[in-house]
Structure 1
Amino acid sequence: MTSEADGSIKEALAVVLDYHERTKHHKDRYARSLGYLDWDTQPIPYRFYEGAEQLWLAEVPVEETPYYDDLYGGEGLLPAALNARSVAQFFYDSLALAGWKEFRGAKWSLRVNPSSGNLHPTEAYLIAGPIDGLAKTPAVYHYSPFYHALEELRTMPALMWGELSEALPPGGFLVGLTSIHWRESWKYGERAFRYSQIDLGHALGALAFAASALGWRIRLVENLSDRDLGTLLGVDRQSGAEAEQPTALVAVYPRGARPRQIKPLAAPKCLLDYSRSAPLAGEPNELSVEHQRWNVIDEVERATRHSGGNAPPWTPEAGAPQPDGRTRPVSARKLFRERRSAQMMDGEATLERDDFFRLLRRLTPHPAHPVFGMLPWRPAINLLLFVHRVRDLDPGLYFLAREPGALDVFQGLTRSDLAWKRVESAPADLPLYVLASCDFRMMAQQLSCNQDIAAQGVFAAAMLAEFEPRLRREGASFYRRLFWEAGTIGQALYLEAEALGMRGTGIGCFFDDPTHELLGLGDARFQSLYHFTVGRGVDDPRLKSIPAYAHRDIPLGERG
């Protein structure tokens, strides 16, 4: 490595560490934002490519099977064929609209994938070869959640698709994800970059679960640079506050498939040249009339760009989890589409201990996990748990060691009065430890920006990431990936809560350093990135529910 390159890496890391420190919430001040909501500049939550041909996808009826627990059963589900119906189901169960709510004339949409403030900075693109019943030629498409449609942006010569997909198993395709940070910064100011990355993690998790229900798997493709990804998707032509930033690429393939050649997926130079010169079929719509720029977000976005490079070969995973109990007759697809973020919890529900242990086991990574198996890095996040009401388990502070080496490190760094005693009633393969037995409801509420919901659930969680040492080893671009991992954990928590007849809620507003101080952590070795709570939700009876795609039946000229 040259001294110039080494200096650039250190500079990027300094930008990341500075950004993270300045966007912390403190008890006497919050991270910088406007301090109010400028409704006149609220961004549209939908991207359309005006002028592009729309290929409407079917609203595939939700069936009882597969059951949600079947997704954790290893190789049990037969892969669906790649065709118009399976592609439609894949997006319908991951990134589509889930419904609408209406109150006193105001109406807003809900999506299958959650988002901070329901602002949805993440956009998705499909890169695929011919698809039976949908397309005869390889092409790049933008997915439109509003219409549940694919907007065809650019066809691709068959030979170029053949080169691009050479490392994919038969029936495989690619999904690219981008972020529009303005959608989050409109409300959250400088801290918005964090939320955009958490939202992208939730989107990755939603895609992974939807793929699993089809007998497919997904894998994050890390050897392609963000620059090349932007070229492939066509977003390299965008500029300004509303520009989409290329962020992640995933390979989707049938479970159990083996690649024809073991080598990293690469974008051929001829395809990149073609993508730069070939026109796009549409123009992205305007989201806001004016914008508030946050320079610090632009700086950290540049510092955390992924340069690709010599990634190790990726292959479909092997192995299966240990059985964790009977299969409950709960439809996976029903959970996907009926998942909601609780706005209130009743503060009374109790969770059975065995259900709690099953939930926690679903949060521990292994190669065959439907979500965590797609992340090609050693787990970086462990969970601090505030247990409020779990039957036959003392209320208190607990620790789930998702990373095998985390226990000794945390024990050596945290306060000496913490017990670090293994929970004897937990399954042998569940690394769960009690730190203190006490009522921590008020503490959970105070740490989560004094939000009642953190105390009203059956438990709350703080996601503690190995931070500065990991960034120094992996590079500045891993900053985004820490939040992606947190988002995938959040997505798993949402669905586990739904399977138990409860609700989940992600909490992005929390006091960073007071959370660390609770354990006696005094430096940047570990940092809390995301909080979450699970409990019995309380619905607002004043809100009217509207089906997700009733507007697709309205003539084009009459749509609002």
Structure 2
Amino acid sequence: MQDTPPAELPPDLPPPSVADLVRAYHRRTKHRFERYAAGPETLDWDDQPAAFRHFEGVRSIPLPLAEPTQQGALGEALRRPFAAPVTQHVPFDLASLGACLHLALGITAWKRYGPDRWAVRANPSSGNLHPVEAYLIACEVPGLANGLYHYEPEQHALECRARHLSTGSLPPGLHIALSSVMWREAWKYGERAFRYCQLDTGHAMAALRYACAAMGWSLTAQPQLDNHLLASVLGLDRLADFPARRAQATELEEAEVLLSLGLDNSPAPVPTARALRAASSSAVWMGTASSIDRHPMYHWPVIAEVAALTREALCTTARQSSLALPPGQGGEHENAASGEGPGFAEVVLGRRSAQHFDPAFRMPRTAFMHLMSRLMAQPAAPWDVLPAVWEMHLLLFVHRVEDLPCGAYLLTRGTAGNALQQRLNQHYTLSPVAGLPPGLDLQLIAAMEAPALQRLARSLHCHQDIAAHASFALGMLCEFDPALEASPASYRELFRQAGLLGQVLYLEAEAMGLRGTGIGCYFDDAVHEMLGLEDTHYQSLYHFTVGKPRLDERIETLAAYTNRETAVSTAPNVTAEPIMSTTEEASPEMSPRFQRISAQRAAELIQRHRQASPPTLALFDTRDRMSFDAGHIAGAQFLSDASFGQIMAGLPRSTPIMLYCFRGNASQTWAGMFADFRYTEVYSVDGGHDALAAALAQPAAPVPAGPPGELSASLRNFLSARGFTQEKLNEAREHGLTPLMHAAWRGEVALLRELIALGADVQCRNADGNTAVWLACVAASEEAVRALAEAGAQLDSRNDTGATALMYCASSAKPAMLALLLELGADPMVTNFDDARAVDLCASLECLNLLRHTADLPT
């Protein structure tokens, strides 16, 4: 569903302003209980956007790593306790520059789990997708010729993108520019991706500011330079250097911000637009960008639209009143000069996102209050990298903090906190918390019983357990309307400010032995409605959790740069940031705790349960009352907000739950609610009522018998390693994958045949609506596809976007698999939901030749 503007505006209304259009983007990309923001219906986890970009045909300069054991001023800066003040300036050279970039944007470890391997970086990213790219502009600095350099984190090296033959009036100094490959986020998150790119930019700005501060260097944003100029200076508008594959948009980078370094105790240079243009006009350009995604499956035009709307230079003079930091909140905290605690490099290189929290852990009150104090804006790093500071207050869900009642709290940050408190007082009676450190204004909004608060936090955060199991979760309430009225470019700044605050949370939590996780998936307006905020003066732009992590010992931790002479000091084995996960920074918590199943599979389950005495399945119709009364599936109960509580009260948690709606969307929200209340077996029917009714009208398939005998040792080990049991061979776990799907995905043909013989369902669909046939095609296992076809698997099963395995093979340039499916009888005339056939999606000439005969046939 998308927001649809009226066909014509009334003649007496003025056209919408740029700020209005930005608001419209923000509104349409909100997650709601009834639907999520528009995004991809399926993901090919084996064909993700490239995580690293490099430029071919350029000179590469390897950089030294951050090594705390080295001697001299640099080693002392890396070993300095994280909370201690900086007392010296590290001289600038390639060693200190390499350490700075490693601490800010470099790889800190590699993770491995089974066949999957992924990098962890110093700067966090939504989904571990890392849209941020960094460039350096050097002018008369030691060790670098004048020119433009691209930082390549995979090799920790600088790639010379351009040589500046003349620097003109450009003052000597070093500048770091950030850009976003927006497709990396859009690939997974669709229209909401622009938000996440700005959050990631804020995280990267904060990571750079922390790293520069450790060296004793300043870092200053240059908001007076608009994105068009910055794109030209960085060569991002040289389209020939970013060759398009299927779509140009997937390859391009969006210029974000220019940051100037003040080195060796000198103020940061301030480059003018004229000086940057002059230096760029003398550039000798080199290199061609590597591909990000050769075969994108979707296109989200609204991202380019909002990017264009927010590209102007920031109107800092119009916002001067917002730039001043609140009085009485500057200076160092009492703990900052203690000289105790872990070293700076240890904290930064050990930062991870928690994937699971220990719900038994209670955070000491002193630690909580210290962390809250560190979140107050200061006229120092990292806050001083922000070109402007808008009011941003924190809504806290305090679950487990010693001597602090469970409940919702408000921490005001800034001079306008009273205005927000007055709004909340219209619906709640706020109570100040006693015994606070100086400068903190923490108010209790409402005390709640722990289970109720956990349910609320989980539901608001897209049904993620991580929001309920942490010591606390929070949402960042930002001044939204005032910022947009000052400048539409402030939309980017708001998210960047939220990302910077998230980076403070990450590192401060890490320094005290805890861990944080950023959350970008939450139901926007449900948060506002909970507080009684009816307009858009304040909007919640980013959420976060902090607690004690539960570590996954199955995941290996590998060194970041094994081919370098200097080893990197990394933290011990900790939780991972796998790119194949589904939460912000890749937490498995987003994996559905219910199963989406096809109508055919649902019909089989219904028929099986009807044979039991008494029937054990609880079937619910979530459509409106009129539709239910007009006709529903036999045995279904009508489910609504009014009846939900009463139904649950008399329904044991072991009861299997199945829900259907009109088309299969709303039933997923209801399924998530049942899963929230710990029902262990919950199904949402894809296709809804009509598809299920049609499937039930077909003759009942025979119910397969249970496992006839002992499992082979190989299969027992295979199931155990993935958390499955012999008794539930059709159980769907992470990403909706069953044991059969895992075997197909890995091309384990012997195990796949054994599972089929034991009665595994060959028609099951995963979270994206794909079957084992699709996954066998991903593995390019012809034998697996044949085995599934022989077992009766439907070759033309369509996933949630209407795509078939045949379409996947055509679009992924897999001619051998395409030929096999055609041989086995796959239908090339099937269309997806965009009315495209397999021939329309061919990514190679071989595939096109196999399907060319279908091009002109009528559908």
State the match for 2:303 in structure 1.
297
Q: Distance in 2 between matches of 1:145 and 1:538?
A: 28
Q: Distance in 2 between matches of 1:526 and 1:340?
A: 30
1:493-508 to 2 correspondence within 5 Å?
A: 493-508=505-520
Larger Rg: 2
Give the counterpart of 2:64 among 35, 58, 62: 58
Q: Distance in 1 between matches of 2:264 and 2:283?
A: 34
Please tell me whether residue 549 in structure 1 is matched to residue 555 in structure 2. Answer: no
1:68-107 to 2 correspondence within 5 Å?
A: 68-70=82-84, 73=85, 76-107=86-117
Please tell me whether residue 190 in structure 1 is matched to residue 210 in structure 2. Answer: no
State the match for 2:474 in structure 1.
461
Q: Distance in 1 between matches of 2:313 and 2:139?
A: 26
Q: Distance in 1 between matches of 2:81 and 2:238?
A: 43
Give the counterpart of 2:391 among 357, 364, 380: 380
State the match for 1:139 in structure 2.
147
What residue ranges of structure 2 are gaps of 5+ in the alignment?
Answer: 1-12, 70-77, 243-247, 566-859
State the match for 2:288 in structure 1.
283
Letter in 2 for 1:266: T
Q: Distance in 2 between matches of 1:464 and 1:235?
A: 34
Q: Distance in 2 between matches of 1:279 and 1:313?
A: 38
Tell which deviates more after alignment, 244-253 or 408-417.
408-417
Asked if 2 retains the 8 angstrom alpha-carbon contact of 1:43 and 1:288, the reply is yes
Note the C-alpha offset of 1:198. 0.5
Q: Distance in 2 between matches of 1:310 and 1:22?
A: 28
Q: Distance in 1 between matches of 2:557 and 2:14?
A: 52
1:398-477 to 2 correspondence within 5 Å?
A: 398-406=409-417, 408-438=418-448, 439=450, 440-472=453-485, 474-477=486-489
Please tell me whether residue 490 in structure 1 is matched to residue 502 in structure 2. Answer: yes
Letter in 1 for 2:33: K
Asked if 1 retains the 8 angstrom alpha-carbon contact of 2:141 and 2:174, the reply is no
Q: Relative contact order (C-alpha < 8 Å, sep 6+): which is higher?
A: 1
Q: Please give the per-residue CA displacement for 1:96-144, whole angstroms capped at 9, x wherever unaligned.
A: 0111111112211111110001100000011122443x32x32210000
Tell which deviates more after alignment, 20-29 or 306-315.
306-315
Note the C-alpha offset of 1:551. 4.6
Q: Please give the per-residue CA displacement for 1:510-548, whole angstroms capped at 9, x wherever unaligned.
A: 000010111110111111111100011112111111111
Give the counterpart of 2:42 among 36, 47, 52: 36
Asked if 1 retains the 8 angstrom alpha-carbon contact of 2:167 and 2:278, the reply is no
Give the counterpart of 2:126 among 99, 113, 116: 116
State the match for 1:510 in structure 2.
522
State the match for 1:219 in structure 2.
220
State the match for 2:18 in structure 1.
12
Q: Distance in 2 between matches of 1:328 and 1:310?
A: 39
Tell which deviates more after alignment, 332-341 or 286-295.
286-295
Note the C-alpha offset of 1:165. 2.5
Q: Please give the per-residue CA displacement for 1:339-384, whole angstroms capped at 9, x wherever unaligned.
A: 001111111111111111111111110212x111221323331111
Q: Please give the per-residue CA displacement for 1:221-244, whole angstroms capped at 9, x wherever unaligned.
A: 111111111111111213621200
Note the C-alpha offset of 1:255. 7.7
Note the C-alpha offset of 1:310. 7.5
State the match for 1:363 in structure 2.
375
Please tell me whether residue 521 in structure 1 is matched to residue 546 in structure 2. Answer: no
The change in CA–CA distance for 1:46 and 1:427 in structure 2 (over 3 A counts) is: same
State the TM-score, normalized to the length of structure 2. Answer: 0.59
Tell which deviates more after alignment, 544-553 or 94-103.
544-553
Q: Distance in 2 between matches of 1:254 and 1:421?
A: 47
Give the counterpart of 1:243 among 247, 252, 271: 252
The change in CA–CA distance for 1:444 and 1:256 in structure 2 (over 3 A counts) is: farther
Letter in 2 for 1:47: R
Q: Distance in 2 between matches of 1:94 and 1:506?
A: 17
Letter in 2 for 1:113: N
State the match for 2:157 in structure 1.
149
Note the C-alpha offset of 1:415. 5.0
Note the C-alpha offset of 1:389. 1.1
SS at structure 2 position matched to 1:360: helix
SS at structure 1 position matched to 2:79: coil
Please tell me whether residue 352 in structure 1 is matched to residue 364 in structure 2. Answer: yes
Note the C-alpha offset of 1:306. 2.3
- Give the number of the structure whose residues are more often strand, by fraction: 1
SS at structure 1 position matched to 2:503: helix
1:246-257 to 2 correspondence within 5 Å?
A: 246-254=255-263, 257=266
State the TM-score, normalized to the length of structure 1. Answer: 0.89
Q: Distance in 2 between matches of 1:38 and 1:14?
A: 35
The change in CA–CA distance for 1:436 and 1:312 in structure 2 (over 3 A counts) is: closer
Q: Distance in 2 between matches of 1:9 and 1:104?
A: 56
The change in CA–CA distance for 1:320 and 1:128 in structure 2 (over 3 A counts) is: farther
Q: Distance in 2 between matches of 1:252 and 1:348?
A: 44
Tell which deviates more after alignment, 318-327 or 330-339.
318-327
The change in CA–CA distance for 1:10 and 1:87 in structure 2 (over 3 A counts) is: farther
Count how many residue pairs are aligned between Structure 1 and Structure 2. Answer: 526
The change in CA–CA distance for 1:9 and 1:200 in structure 2 (over 3 A counts) is: farther
Tell which deviates more after alignment, 423-432 or 474-483.
423-432
Asked if 2 retains the 8 angstrom alpha-carbon contact of 1:213 and 1:333, the reply is no
State the match for 2:178 in structure 1.
177
Q: Aligned-pair RMSD on alpha carbons?
A: 2.5
Letter in 1 for 2:107: L
Letter in 1 for 2:164: M
State the match for 2:81 in structure 1.
67
Q: Distance in 2 between matches of 1:202 and 1:25?
A: 22
State the match for 2:51 in structure 1.
45
State the match for 1:323 in structure 2.
334
Q: Please give the per-residue CA displacement for 1:394-429, whole angstroms capped at 9, x wherever unaligned.
A: 2211111112212x2112322534232222211121
State the match for 1:3 in structure 2.
none
SS at structure 1 position matched to 2:400: coil
Note the C-alpha offset of 1:186. 0.4
State the match for 1:232 in structure 2.
233
Letter in 2 for 1:405: A
Note the C-alpha offset of 1:276. 4.7
State the match for 1:397 in structure 2.
408
State the match for 2:277 in structure 1.
272
Q: Distance in 2 between matches of 1:498 and 1:8?
A: 51
Asked if 2 retains the 8 angstrom alpha-carbon contact of 1:397 and 1:437, the reply is yes
Q: Distance in 2 between matches of 1:157 and 1:277?
A: 5
Asked if 2 retains the 8 angstrom alpha-carbon contact of 1:231 and 1:276, the reply is no
What residue ranges of structure 1 are gaps of 5+ in the alignment?
Answer: 1-6, 167-171, 554-560
The change in CA–CA distance for 1:520 and 1:313 in structure 2 (over 3 A counts) is: closer
Q: Distance in 2 between matches of 1:254 and 1:404?
A: 33
